[in-house]
Structure 1
Amino acid sequence: MTTRNGGDLVVESLTALGATHVFGIPGQHALGLFDAIRRSPLAFVSSRIENNSVFSADGYSRSTGEVGVLFCSTGPGALTALGALQEAYAACVPLLVVTSQIPTAGLGGARRGFLHQLDDQQASARNVTKATFTIRTADQIPTVLAEAWGIALRAPSGPVWVEIPQDILLGATQAPPVEHLSVDDRGPLRPRPEATAQAVALLAEAKRPVILAGGGARRSPGAEAALVALAEILDAPVVATPAGKGTIGFDHPLSAGSWIEDRYTTELLEQADVLLAIGTSFGEVPSNYFTFAPTGRIIQVDAEVRVLGSNHEVLGVHADAAAALEDFAEGLVARGLAPIPGSGAEVAADLRRRVEARLEEQDLDVERSLLRGIRAAVPAATETFWDMTIAGYWAWSAWDAQRGGFHTAQAAGGLGLAFPAALGAAVGTGRRTLAVTGDGGAMYSISELATARQHDANVTWLIVDDGGYGILREYMTDAFGAATATELARPDFVALARSFDIPAYPATVETVQDVIASTFETPGPAVVVVPALLRMFAPTHLGAQQSVALETANL
């Protein structure tokens, strides 16, 4: 086919918007997209399961700061993508999902019997996306894609869904080639001056200010430097949520770490007379399973208006993190406040010492050695991706992000993100990434070994093999005395990876550092497998069994 068609308009539009990579899987109704991409400069990354295509686009976006683009097929393909879209939606990751549809004649609800036909495919996507569109004519394609791109970027960012019927993708078009498209992302969302003035007044009078840095603080461009500057003006210790890791270095004197599930940390947040929460909803994990009971005033800053005041009475500031932090700092400086070292660093250091002492009281040498070994093996700037596994739960608290990105599926809590997301990040950045999963979560992603080999992605995949769903085993055993349906048959992961012509290495907790480090010296994918039975730390002075049972009761 040499005549330009709707598929060409799609790839021309994406190229004009700045896209360079597309993730996905071909499908019958999407053939127009895939034929057109052959004639474009876009690089296509072919996954093996649609859910993993979304995770790869997600990891690409998180690591590059660009919109992740996905091509998806109709019906079963589109529905398979929804689970991973829930994570991108909850974590505010900007994605553009271009999915095919049955021919226009089949739209509208009539059961025409088209392959893959759904009663309302667009409705299925509405719960996990910021916006959805259905293209009705080819001329709409450039404008709608530009609008969708802007919505995906606009704070709070997130995935946007555009579906295009098969006949429009294949049909000839007389529309001129797309060379330039403008995007309305509306720029930073600045706080209202009245809200800024009230927040500044509270902060200026605070005697025990504390800052809680969430994922919104890490995602907002410029927020990390602005947060550190404000913390220094206030002399306020900073606690990071798992999603907020990297907003302040662990080596900064005001960093109180991110032991968000330890009661010492919860008590520090509770005892603040003014708590400044940036980009967090005080959800299940940041609130230590909804046990957080503040005694002072809370200033909550978030670009997602639905978050404000959703769990506690707050002074809500609807704004991008960076914009709010900059305005707060400017207001405080105008009042004569300046960075003067005081007790904040000692408060932060004392918290870290008390958490360390609690850990020393527990038998956690295996878990702590594993995390130390991984951290020592991985270069500081490495993007790391952690699945919902005990090693990942430890990393929420213990991992020092240093100069690299720390990424988890904690926003929605589904399994399977780490490896395909790390793969997408490796493709996008060209640098080696690290994925950490358990053996249960690994089976969600095992097919993407083929993708990693096909695209020679520089990704190291660490599989911690404990023979089942480890965290669920621990929760159920502590709550009920026995675990059900948590033990798993699994393959020989080393042999399986090698069957894909991927170097794979068995390791132990003692050797994992050297083995992982060696994979960073050679190109292409690599798999490391560590058999280890891990358990979680006790977050209070209760015994481990009691504390996990308490956490479970609070879920």
Structure 2
Amino acid sequence: MTDHVRNGGDVVVETLTSLGVTHIFGIPGQHALGLFDAIRRSDLHFVSSRVENNSAFGADGYARATGHPAVMFVSTGPGALTALGALQEAYTTGVPIVVVSSQVPRRGIGGRKNGLLHQIDDQQKSAQNVTKGTTVVLDAAHIPSAIADAWSLAQTVPAGPVWVEIAQDVLLEPSPVPPVTSTITHVPSRPARPELAQEAARLLAGAQRPVILAGGGVRRSATGPKELLRVAEALGAPVVATAGGKGAISFAHPLSAGSWIEDRHTTDLLEDADVLLAVGTTIGEVTSNYFTFAPRGVLIQVDAEPRALGSNYPVLGIHADAGLALEVIADLLPPAAAGAVERGTQVAADLRSRVEARLAGQDLAPELALMATLRDAVPADLHTFWDMTIAGYWAWSIWDPQDGEFHSAQGAGGLGFAFPAALAAAIGTGRPTLAVSGDGGAMYGIAELATARQHDADVTWLIIDDGGYGILREYMTGAFGEATATELARPDFVALAEAFGIPAHRVSSETLGSTLAAELREPGPSVVVLEARPRMFAIT
């Protein structure tokens, strides 16, 4: 073997190492070979998935579970384009990912003029809809700063994916750049403007019926949950969590009004507030109960994404990181008035009772039992990942994350998120995780059984097999009287998992809990299959 001459690929890997990166997700490709060869000379751990879309879902799950930005390598053209669907979820939800993509050689960038393999007209433009920023690198000297800037931008609120594209010849050519041992990064904070925080505090202090709506921005903010509690307790305000905000306040806290956002009683509570503080949420389609929400009081909206402010309702808009804004508001609020916390506690308890009574009138005993069985079987501190499936939609509202974390794909709503995200999270944290999918969504990630086995990921995958796209079946039947194209041929999931060398079990409703609990205690990957047809609760 000839002596290696440092090249652009080495500069990339050295830069990532200096940033503290430990794991890389992706799939090798022809134009990216310089990247992957450089990994061989590093201490980076490469996690090879089987489909680029699942690499991006994996990077997403890793970042959510570890709290650190994720990094993925993709190759040119088909590989890069295949990753974009999953990057939309990270972009919409605010998950920091640095994507390093290869490109054709410099002379071929800018169109299909050279007939090069994987060449497309404008790869950078393709990535722009699902990333916070894109950069094309045409010289190795640009690599360290391009990646360091992407690292900073990915974490700047609102967080999200950032795309760095490097030409193949830049990755392969000898580089005069000295070995990278340091990087310069800067993640700016986003505090609230003082006059806006003062106005918000004035309105809240004068409210008779304050309510807080806590979104995913509260969870993602380093100080968000702590400062949320300070504001809620100062006001005696009940707190409703969105699906993305689930866990921002413990369900066990007396001011928690749960997260039944797809319920008329919750919508009524939000509407009846004379001052509603919505933090870290766009108050979008699901959170607004499909835009049936019509606030009658003053609406204060805090969000790190300025485009979200007032996008659906007139608001006092505060462009800020959730935790920083809540901290200032909490400092400005007077001590809680006598009886305020008790009143808020009673409001939260009454809402929970009304929601439970409404569910009790819908003949949903099997679905309620299923979700209760899952909650009982899953350890309190587990990270759980939910696909766009009926059980996942139930989990948006009913799942109590307890001491763990709840993750779903409600940001962009694409299928196939749960399993690749959960297995990457298991690799990154070194702890068990649970993925929940339907049979339709499971087929998106079935190839990642090979990844789970290859990396011995401590992930348990629950597949609820209802014979098709269950939620679309319900939507179409409700709208048109019958469903079309929702019924699916599917494999024997147990036999298929076993073919990958992964333990698998077919369970009934009666054996689900004990089997799932046992598999979550066993190290390594496993699959549990339940054949059932859960139904959705009535939305309004």
**What TM-score does the superposition give when structure 1 sets the normalisation length?**
0.96
1:370 is aligned to 370
2:126 is aligned to 124
2:436 is aligned to 436
1:414 alignment partner AA: G
Q: CA RMSD in A?
A: 1.1
- 1:193 deviates by 0.4
Q: Secondary structure at the match of 1:496?
A: helix
Contact 2:237 2:341 in 1 (8 A): no
2:510 is aligned to 510
- 1:110 deviates by 5.5
2:190 is aligned to 189
Measure, in 2, the Cα distance between the counterparts of 1:338 and 1:281.
33
- 1:18 deviates by 1.2
Residues 447-486 of structure 1: CA distance to partner in whole angstroms, max 9, x if unpaired? 0000000000000000000000000000111111100000
2:106 is aligned to 104
Residues 370-423 of structure 1: CA distance to partner in whole angstroms, max 9, x if unpaired? 111111111111100000000000000000011111111100011000000001
- 1:510 deviates by 1.9
2:489 is aligned to 489
2:120 alignment partner AA: L
Residues 267-307 of structure 1: CA distance to partner in whole angstroms, max 9, x if unpaired? 00000000000100011100000110000001100000000
Measure, in 2, the Cα distance between the counterparts of 1:110 and 1:434.
44
- 1:337 deviates by 6.0
Q: Secondary structure at the match of 2:502?
A: coil
Measure, in 1, the Cα distance between the counterparts of 2:454 and 2:529.
21
2:407 is aligned to 407
2:432 alignment partner AA: R
1:245 is aligned to 246
> In the alignment, is residue 318 of structure 1 matched against residue 319 of structure 2?
yes
- 1:340 deviates by 5.3
Residues 29-75 of structure 1: CA distance to partner in whole angstroms, max 9, x if unpaired? 00000000000111000000000000000000000111110000000
Measure, in 2, the Cα distance between the counterparts of 1:30 and 1:393.
38
Alpha-carbon distance change, 233 to 453 in structure 1, aligned in 2, over 3 angstroms = same
Contact 1:385 1:436 in 2 (8 A): yes
2:500 is aligned to 500
Contact 1:468 1:486 in 2 (8 A): yes
Residues 512-539 of structure 1: CA distance to partner in whole angstroms, max 9, x if unpaired? 1111100122110000000000111113
1:204 is aligned to 205
1:313 alignment partner AA: P
**What TM-score does the superposition give when structure 2 sets the normalisation length?**
0.98
Measure, in 2, the Cα distance between the counterparts of 1:534 and 1:455.
33
User: What is the aligned counterpart of 1:167 among 163, 169, 188?
Assistant: 169
Q: Secondary structure at the match of 1:243?
A: coil
Q: Secondary structure at the match of 1:242?
A: coil
Measure, in 1, the Cα distance between the counterparts of 2:336 and 2:91.
41
Measure, in 1, the Cα distance between the counterparts of 2:508 and 2:282.
38
2:44 alignment partner AA: L
Contact 1:301 1:321 in 2 (8 A): yes
Alpha-carbon distance change, 490 to 252 in structure 1, aligned in 2, over 3 angstroms = same
Measure, in 2, the Cα distance between the counterparts of 1:402 and 1:291.
30
2:11 is aligned to 9
Contact 1:10 1:141 in 2 (8 A): yes
Runs of 4+ in 1 over 3 A off after TM superposition: 335-340
1:545 is aligned to none
Measure, in 2, the Cα distance between the counterparts of 1:175 and 1:359.
64
Contact 1:67 1:149 in 2 (8 A): yes
Unaligned runs of 5+ in 1: 541-555
Contact 1:233 1:338 in 2 (8 A): no
2:310 is aligned to 309
Contact 2:255 2:341 in 1 (8 A): no
1:552 is aligned to none
1:537 alignment partner AA: F
Contact 2:145 2:184 in 1 (8 A): no
1:71 is aligned to 73
Contact 2:214 2:248 in 1 (8 A): yes
- 1:109 deviates by 2.9
Measure, in 2, the Cα distance between the counterparts of 1:337 and 1:99.
56
> In the alignment, is residue 354 of structure 1 matched against residue 345 of structure 2?
no
1:211 alignment partner AA: I
Unaligned runs of 5+ in 2: none
2:420 is aligned to 420
Alpha-carbon distance change, 21 to 338 in structure 1, aligned in 2, over 3 angstroms = farther
Residues 345-388 of structure 1: CA distance to partner in whole angstroms, max 9, x if unpaired? 00000000011011111211111111111111111111000000
Measure, in 2, the Cα distance between the counterparts of 1:342 and 1:430.
42
Measure, in 2, the Cα distance between the counterparts of 1:68 and 1:220.
17
2:174 alignment partner AA: A
